Copies of this chain bind each other. A is one copy, B any other.
Amino acid sequence: MFNNTDKSYPIELVADFLGVNSRTLYYYERFSLVCPARRGRKRYYSKQDISWLEYIRELMYDQGMNLRSIIVLIKRRDNVILTRCPEDVVNSFKNYLMKMDDYF
């Protein structure tokens, strides 16, 4: 139907699919952990975004990582992360205005 990088799924659907609150997705977005497309003001996520978000949950709940350490891996361009992390997320960390630092 949609290809992997087509930003087509609205936030409620994604939240529902992942079993998380949509506020959690807004929360992740503050750290640029995911970069949905905006059409109008609505957010749309790709399949890749969704599996990346699933991977984040796995890292957190199975591997016991926290958001900060996931961000560190993205900044480091760690291989484990890069195979899964959408390009737009990686790019959002190019400007070394470090996302997390505003909030912590």
The interface of chain A, by Cβ under 8 A from chain B, is 62-66, 68-70, 72
Mostly helix, strand, loop or mixed at chain A's interface? mixed
A67 nearest in chain B by CB position = B64
Q: Give the chain B neighbours of A69 by CB distance below 8 A.
A: 62-65
Per assembly, the copies of the chain total 2
Q: Give the chain B neighbours of A66 by CB distance below 8 A.
A: 64, 66
Of the A-B pairs whose beta carbons lie under 8 Å apart in the complex, a sample of 13, sorted by A's number, is: A62-B69, A62-B72, A63-B65, A63-B69, A64-B65, A64-B66, A64-B68, A64-B69, A64-B70, A64-B72, A65-B65, A65-B69, A66-B66
Point out which of A64, A65, A70 has the most chain B C-beta atoms below 10 A from its C-beta: A64
